[in-house]
Amino acid sequence: MLRIGPPTPGSAEPVERADAARNRALLLDAAQQLVREHGVAGLTMDALAKRAGVGKGTVFRRFGNRTGLMLALLDHSEQKFQAAFMFGPGPMGPDASPVERLIAFGRTRLLDIEVEGDLHRAAEENGGRFGDGPYSLHRAHVVLLLREAGVAGELPLVADTLLATLSAALITHQLAVSGYTRAQIGDNWEWLVRRVVSGAAHVE
Amino acid sequence: MLRIGPPTPGSAEPVERADAARNRALLLDAAQQLVREHGVAGLTMDALAKRAGVGKGTVFRRFGNRTGLMLALLDHSEQKFQAAFMFGPGPMGPDASPVERLIAFGRTRLLDIEVEGDLHRAAEENGGRFGDGPYSLHRAHVVLLLREAGVAGELPLVADTLLATLSAALITHQLAVSGYTRAQIGDNWEWLVRRVVSGAAHVE
């Protein structure tokens, strides 16, 4: 475990906790890389230990089992996504226009789903898709952007439609069965966003 | 069992089959009425036998158990819906304009989901929502109407978005948790359809 400087009295525990958090994040970044390269099937406790250069025991201690690792990875990926759309640079973050941000929100989500689709789909199927924390946050964010773009519809319902278009179950079906590419699905997303905001300049 | 005229040689079996089909349809109409009045919880084998004025044994012989009855009802309701959008009178059927038909398709589906939401949700959760027969037919129908309305987007993907807006899981959440009325959700559907077709007159 990497220590930054020697522990000083009373500070040992916080330093250890910060180390643990950083090590955890490094492990999860390695796990994300593995999934990007080999799909979800390539993510095993063994492969992760090898990739991260740690003992297998460390990986088990940290995540319990493969399901625990998957959940941690999903959470890690979700946190990165949230940080990007709330505080990140353009086109997802606050510097860009609301329409650019909506478009980037969808295209980034599509990339996550293409790479980690099985993870996201499993999370959706674990009931409560619409009630859970991430969904509420995504919906609030999309409502905010629609309002900033001047859309006059019933915004939470419009946001539900946009987010339904990005559901992992639907996207993985479009990729795997309907035979669309991520670029085509992304272009459709952009088309849809532009249609939804198209009446925004008019009073309805 | 009602018989139309005496059986003639060689025709007894077909007459019996037609009777059986009609009796089955009458039972399912009674089941649908029960669900409309008392929700899915009110649909029991007992209640159905009483409502239809037949013995409980007849209901069990016909559907096996309550799950069998639910599946048969869902199928019955789906067949009526399909007949309405393919061959029915306006605004769902071929006499109306494509935009009117799209709007009526959604509003009718919303009514079905409000009444039989638990049935439809269970059907969606039984895997293969996007691969199953009804979904493919709905998608083909929506694609056809979008094309007739002159929409220039990637129509199967646009249809996926419109149908995702009508998923039973989403609609029941909007009704039960978000607190929207069916009328509000229907108005949002109409708004969405009009936005999607709004650019149709222009070459994109």
User: Stretch A48-55: mean pLDDT, rounded?
Assistant: 95
What are B18-40's pLDDT values in tens digits? 888 888 889 999 998 898 888 88
Cβ distance of B161 and A156 shorter than 8 Å: no
User: Stretch B147-151: mean pLDDT, rounded?
Assistant: 96
Alpha helices in chain B (DSSP H): 12-38, 45-52, 56-63, 66-87, 98-125, 133-148, 155-165, 168-176, 182-197
Domain edges within chain A: 1-64, 74-197
The tokens describing B43, both together, are 């649909």
Least trusted range by pLDDT, from A2-16, A149-163, B46-60, B152-166: A2-16
| pLDDT classification of A3: cutoffs 50, 70, 90 | very low
Around Cβ A53, how many Cβ atoms within 10 Å?
9
User: Stretch A88-115: mean pLDDT, rounded?
Assistant: 95
Q: Give me the architecture of the B9-64 domain, per CATH.
A: Orthogonal Bundle (1.10)
Write down the pLDDT at residue A178. 93
Residue A138 has pLDDT above 80, yes or no: yes
Write down the pLDDT at residue A18. 81
Write down the pLDDT at residue A130. 81
Residues B97, B88: contact at Cβ < 8 Å? no
Distance from CA of B157 to the nearest CA of A (A): 7
Tell how far CA B19 is from the center of its chain: 24
Around Cβ B98, how many Cβ atoms within 10 Å?
20
| pLDDT classification of A127: cutoffs 50, 70, 90 | low
Q: Give me the architecture of the A1-64 domain, per CATH.
A: Orthogonal Bundle (1.10)
The total number of residues shown for chain A amounts to: 204
Question: Half-sphere exposure of residue A171, counting CA atoms within 13 Å on the CB side?
Answer: 31
Residue A14 has pLDDT above 90, yes or no: no
User: Stretch A97-123: mean pLDDT, rounded?
Assistant: 90
Which comes out higher in pLDDT, residue A21 or A108? A108
Write down the pLDDT at residue B2. 37
User: Stretch B142-160: mean pLDDT, rounded?
Assistant: 96
Residue A135 has pLDDT above 80, yes or no: yes
- Domain B71-197, CATH 1.10.357.10 — does that match? yes
Q: In CATH terms, are B9-64 and B71-197 the same topology?
A: no
Write down the pLDDT at residue B13. 53
In the predicted model, what is the mean pLDDT of chain A? 87
Distance from CA of A2 to the nearest CA of B (A): 46
B32: nearest Cα among B18, B49, B48: B48
Around Cβ B28, how many Cβ atoms within 10 Å?
23
Residues A98, A148: contact at Cβ < 8 Å? yes
Look up the ipTM and state it.
Answer: 0.82
Distance from CA of A32 to the nearest CA of B (A): 27
- Per CB distance under 8 Å, which residues of A are interface residues toward B? 125, 129-131, 153-154, 156-158, 160-161, 164-165, 167, 169-170, 173-174, 177-178, 180, 184-185, 187-188, 191-192, 195-196, 198-199
| pLDDT classification of A202: cutoffs 50, 70, 90 | very low
**Count of A-B CB contacts under 8 Å:** 85
The tokens describing B51, both together, are 């409502």
